[in-house]
Amino acid sequence: MIMGSYTSPLVTDKLHNHRVRATACPPRMTHRRWGNGDMKTDKTSSVFFPLTAATILLVSCRVPGTFAADAPDDYATLVQELVATDGSCNVGNRIDYLDTPENPLPVAPLLPLLNHQSPQVRWGAAYTLRLMQNRKQCSAEMLAAARKEQNAFALTEMVQGLGAIMGAAATPLLSELMVNHDSAAVRYAAVEAEYWIRDTNAVPALVQATGDATDKVSVRALGVLGQIGDRRAVTRLVEVARQDDRNKRLSAVQALGMIGAVEAAPLLRSFLQSQDVTLLEQVIWSLGRAHDGPTVTSLLPLLKHDERTIAEETRLSLVEIGSDEVLAHFIGCYKKDSDDVLALGIIRSLYGHGDRAVGEPLKDLAEVQRATLAKHLSSVSEKEVKPSDIKSIRCACGALFVQVVFEGSGVDFIVIQEHDGTFRAGKVIQSWIE
């Protein structure tokens, strides 16, 4: 046995085949794993597995000269081999390798295999067609095959193919399958296909699927409802969030945030006393997305939470809400303590976007605050910066831009607050801030 590293086709995000099984992540939360079990990343994942004799041919095909003398595959031969190997996905991948945007292969030779007597061959045909450049040319045949397919294994692959091939036109069949099919695998595949399609017509069926007896199906349906973002799902999401099931609650809270459901804010605020850090972080994010004004008072105490991620998420959600109340609070904090880098960071963010004027965000702050900036700028300047040398301060693009004048010569600096609360400063060219 030869051991090797290989990027699995099951987790490779190809531009044309929708292979990655990850739910789109909320902003700034890419480091977390959520209640639905999905790692929130859309990057290609690499896995290690033994390269047996059955897979050496695939690797040598994709990496010419790796193991054996190169021998280009013939499409007609591979179609025959797909039948002979009982629908091997390795053969499907070799066909996919030959099928390029410059030289797309015809789908016609594979279409009869959708009706082959072997369910494994039908699976292999559906898998291969889903990868092909001309896959949309087989939409009618794939739909017809899926409608009459009795084998759950083959139907699962056809359902995934319909999501990639037909788009919203597949929603009626997918809705029927996710609610009524006996196989949990088929129901899950139908829900997953709607993640890629995101058709609002699927919302009623997805709402019904949130009550599926199989947790994997119901939790995934909650996530897909959040991705679609249709407000018709809010009532059901609130119902699920009230349940005691932790995974379902996490997914429902996340979905409410993705929709921006301000009507769910009272329920979400009731979770702010939770000792579950993961739930608390998700609730804070969702409240920020809801832009609910009354939430500000509830969030402010969490800025001093012992868990650093909670305090940071609170800061970012307050910036997301961006109300005058938030701004007034932190200007007050900064006036009391000019070294309060958390307050300065929030003031900077609030003036850096939205309708507020960015020209003079700090004009009403005490002169001692200029001393704080002068101290940080002195660390990157050739000479000491005095408070009186700072002639203008403005916010843009999420950073402070400070103009310092030495003996009649102006120097521009950019000041950025790091996640640990410290400042990083550096010189910039004038064109950056015009």
Query: For 246-286, what is each residue's pLDDT tens digit?
Result: 999 999 999 999 999 999 999 999 999 999 999 999 999 99
Torsion of CA 69, 75, 76, 77, to 10 degrees: 30
pLDDT tens sequence across 112-125 = 999 999 999 999 99
Global pTM reads 0.67
* CA pair distance 63, 66, nearest whole angstrom: 6
Q: Which residues pair with 48 in a beta bridge?
A: 5
Any residues with CB less than 8 A from the CB of 180 and at least 6 apart, and which? none
* CA pair distance 76, 343, nearest whole angstrom: 67
Q: Which residue's structure tokens are 């970012």?
A: 316
- What is the predicted pLDDT for the residue at 422? 55
- What is the predicted pLDDT for the residue at 294? 84
* CA pair distance 141, 138, nearest whole angstrom: 5
For CA atoms 304, 285, 320, 402, give the dihedral sign.
Answer: positive
Higher pLDDT, 303 or 393: 303
- What is the predicted pLDDT for the residue at 73? 72
* CA pair distance 167, 353, nearest whole angstrom: 36
Least confident window among 63-67, 99-103, 402-406: 63-67
Tell whether the model's pLDDT for residue 424 goes beyond 80: no
- What is the predicted pLDDT for the residue at 267? 95
Q: Can you tell me the mean pLDDT for 378-401?
A: 71
Least confident window among 60-64, 122-126, 292-296, 325-329: 60-64
Burial 57-73 (b: 16+ CB within 10 A, else e): bbebbeeeeeeeeeeee
- What is the predicted pLDDT for the residue at 35? 35
- What is the predicted pLDDT for the residue at 358? 35
Q: Which residue's structure tokens are 């695998």?
A: 185
Higher pLDDT, 331 or 97: 97
- Cα distance from N-terminal residue to C-terminal residue, the chain: 62
- What is the predicted pLDDT for the residue at 300? 87
Tell whether the model's pLDDT for residue 326 goes beyond 60: yes
- What is the predicted pLDDT for the residue at 8? 31
pLDDT tens sequence across 37-50 = 333 333 333 333 33
Integer angstrom CA distances of residue 330 from 138, 321, 341, 346, 415 = 59, 14, 10, 7, 18
Q: Mean of the per-residue pLDDT values for the chain?
A: 76
Percent of the chain, pLDDT > 70?
Answer: 68
Q: Can you tell me the mean pLDDT for 89-93?
A: 91
